[in-house]
Structure 1
Amino acid sequence: MLRLPVSLMSPGGASARLSILIFHRVLPAHDPLNPDEPDAGEFEQRMRWVRSWFDVLPLGEAVQRLRENRLPARAMSITFDDGYADNEAVAAPILQRLGLPATFFISTGYLDGGCMWNDRVIEAVRHCSDAMLDLTPLGLAAYPLTTPAQRRAAVVAILNGIKHLDPAQRARRTTQIVVACGDRPSPALMMSGDQLRRLRASGMEIGAHTVTHPILTRLDLESARSEMAEGKAALERLLGEPVSLFAYPNGVPGQDYAAEHARLARECGFEAAVSTAWGAARAGTDLFQLPRFTPWDRSRLRFGARLLANLARRQIRFA
């Protein structure tokens, strides 16, 4: 049983540790171009393991308890980034059925029919009819597309090749890639405003994730402030309530955000912010650089071992 070692490594009170899981999508069925995203069956299985081992709290409540040294033993929060429609349609019903709360961080610019740049690339490669996709004129490479594995490899290489361009250049390059793949319309993968309101009405928590999901270190500070503040304001207008939690896009400390962005999060009125650095929060952890991670293992034993290993990680101040 994992419950005992988790209790020993994640006790309550002043010595407590908070594990925060991060997900993006939960798919109706397995997708070879998104193999790291769990399908509904895999996600439910993992959440059943989590429920048997941890005391799952809404992130806002967990942050408050962490601040006051009142976290229970085996404390965990579950989060989702970006605002995919399958969060409301697939993931939320599973969480509700299991009695598990979660927090959903939304990039507001993609609500109501949007498709993020990475998904535009994935879907373009998925539907490209050519056996070879030549992107050498765009400073990339030529990619064979005759098998699902080759398409997946092409997706990974292309995304890595344009991920850290400045937002305007990345948007142009994405459009050029879509055109090279046949210029098909990108699907609407993100939530609608109505879905977001239903998600909140069901008891789930909503946090901000900027407007257009930029890499904050690629922006000047005023543009970063605008992305953070406007995303927060848009959600507050939509939901009619304060939004107090923020997730840094991509979230790698020192690479995707820096100390000045943690300061901006405070100035924008957030009460806490999450990164994508692994580890578990504890007393003294910067509440504006809370660590999160995703155990990707499919077996119960390996999934549990990954959770324990994450609890054992040293606490680090990142920025």
Structure 2
Amino acid sequence: MLEKGLLSLLSPGGAKGLSILIYHRVLPHKDPLFPSEVDAAEFSAQIAMLKSRFNVLPLIDAVRRARAGTLPARAAAITFDDGYADNAEVALPLLQRHGLHATFFVATGFLNGGRMWNDSVYELVRRAPDGVLDATPLGLGSHPLHTIGDRQRAIPALIGQLKYLPIAERQRQVDRLVALAGVTLPDDLMMTSAQVRKLHAAGMGIGAHTVNHPILARLPDDEARREIAQGKHALEELIDARVPLFAYPNGKPGEDYEARHVAMARELQFEGAVSTSWGASRARPDLFQLPRFTPWDRSRLRFVLRMARNLTTSAQLA
């Protein structure tokens, strides 16, 4: 088959690389505002394809086998970031149906009714009445909201201006935007403690992702370390088990996290950590900067082509 042959050509001699996929949400149905967001049918098809062409391992097993030099050819692992409720309610049953494992990296500060700042922006733009969102008093520009296309353009325009602000200032700006839009936002986007325990009880991996999902590179060292350590501790208390893996928020090497944060993850006794740099880990990777990528292609062949490209990509390190 073309797909299998392509992957074989790109991993000659059974090259031992590890491809790690990142997901955030798996929606029950398509969202007109975010048509590229994976829904249940697409996720099911993607992980079925992954299972048929790759050796899919729990990420912690892959980390340990990479350390030992015993990774199989075309090893892969599935991960989720942030802690959305649909991970437990939509993704978990599909993973179980296909007999696959995933690791869920949870930012603990948003559990039980919290909401990430970017989701507040998404949802206020979704819910704002037809017209113009005039955020010029906040220094954030004016944004027409007459059509779905207008709203799709407004979201990255606002996110781009807010993303790298200090956490407290960013939240103040988001709160002002919500008040300006005059909307009520949902409080059920993120998991409850019970849903995290549900994933753990089902045999899934639970990983740390800080408390408040900050850009670690923008924090003083003591605050960055506290975010990492407290997120780990909160999850370990929640599931009554060790949490051995960490995901850097946003995860761009040298931009969102730096070598000092890699050192913190080691010192806090994680076994490994993941970034969002493209690439497949090679035989002896840096286990605290494992690359990952998002498989956004919809057709089966394009999905395989992207997986194949990822096998040949060298990941960046901090």
- TM bucket (normalised to shorter chain) is over 0.9
Partner letter of residue 168 of structure 2? A
Q: Which moved more, 1:266-275 or 1:35-44?
A: 35-44
Shift of 1:315: 4.4
Residues 63 and 184 of structure 1: CA distance in aligned 2, closer, same or farther (over 3 Å):
same
**Residue 6 (1) aligns with residue 7 (2):** yes
Shift of 1:141: 1.4
**Residue 142 (1) aligns with residue 142 (2):** yes
User: 3-state SS of the aligned residue for 1:119?
Assistant: helix
Partner letter of residue 16 of structure 2? A
Task: Report the TM-score when normalising by structure 1.
Answer: 0.96
Match of 1:296 in 2: 296
Shift of 1:137: 1.4
Match of 1:236 in 2: 236
Preserved contact between residue 124 and residue 186 of structure 1 (Cα < 8 Å): no
Residues 12 and 219 of structure 1: CA distance in aligned 2, closer, same or farther (over 3 Å):
farther
Partner letter of residue 28 of structure 1? P
Shift of 1:136: 1.2
Preserved contact between residue 69 and residue 284 of structure 2 (Cα < 8 Å): no
Aligned pair count reads 317
Match of 1:265 in 2: 265
**RMSD across aligned positions (CA):** 1.4
Match of 2:285 in 1: 285
User: 3-state SS of the aligned residue for 1:113?
Assistant: coil
User: 3-state SS of the aligned residue for 2:25?
Assistant: coil
Partner letter of residue 6 of structure 2? P
Which consecutive residues of structure 2, in runs of 5 or more, have no partner in the other structure?
none
Match of 1:215 in 2: 215
Match of 1:29 in 2: 29
1:74-128 CA deviation, whole Å, 9 max, x = no partner? 2000000000000000011001100111000000011111111111111111111
Match of 2:187 in 1: 187
| Aligned counterparts of 1:305 and 1:177: Cα–Cα separation in 2 | 41
1:123-155 CA deviation, whole Å, 9 max, x = no partner? 111111141111111111111111111111111
| Aligned counterparts of 1:3 and 1:164: Cα–Cα separation in 2 | 42
Percent identical pairs in the alignment equals 56
User: 3-state SS of the aligned residue for 2:97?
Assistant: helix
1:175-213 CA deviation, whole Å, 9 max, x = no partner? 111111114244321111111111111111110000010
User: 3-state SS of the aligned residue for 2:124?
Assistant: helix
Residues 8 and 68 of structure 1: CA distance in aligned 2, closer, same or farther (over 3 Å):
farther
Match of 1:19 in 2: 19
| Aligned counterparts of 2:108 and 2:274: Cα–Cα separation in 1 | 17
Residues 133 and 315 of structure 1: CA distance in aligned 2, closer, same or farther (over 3 Å):
closer
Q: Which moved more, 1:176-185 or 1:241-250?
A: 176-185
| Aligned counterparts of 2:223 and 2:130: Cα–Cα separation in 1 | 39
User: 3-state SS of the aligned residue for 1:191?
Assistant: coil
Shift of 1:11: 6.4
Moved >3 Å (runs of 4+): 7-13
Match of 1:168 in 2: 168
Shift of 1:8: 4.4
Preserved contact between residue 163 and residue 170 of structure 1 (Cα < 8 Å): yes
Preserved contact between residue 211 and residue 228 of structure 1 (Cα < 8 Å): yes
**Residue 151 (1) aligns with residue 161 (2):** no
Preserved contact between residue 19 and residue 292 of structure 1 (Cα < 8 Å): yes
| Aligned counterparts of 1:7 and 1:202: Cα–Cα separation in 2 | 33
| Aligned counterparts of 2:142 and 2:126: Cα–Cα separation in 1 | 15
| Aligned counterparts of 1:104 and 1:36: Cα–Cα separation in 2 | 21
Match of 2:113 in 1: 113
User: 3-state SS of the aligned residue for 2:18?
Assistant: strand
Partner letter of residue 62 of structure 2? A
Match of 2:69 in 1: 69
Partner letter of residue 287 of structure 1? L
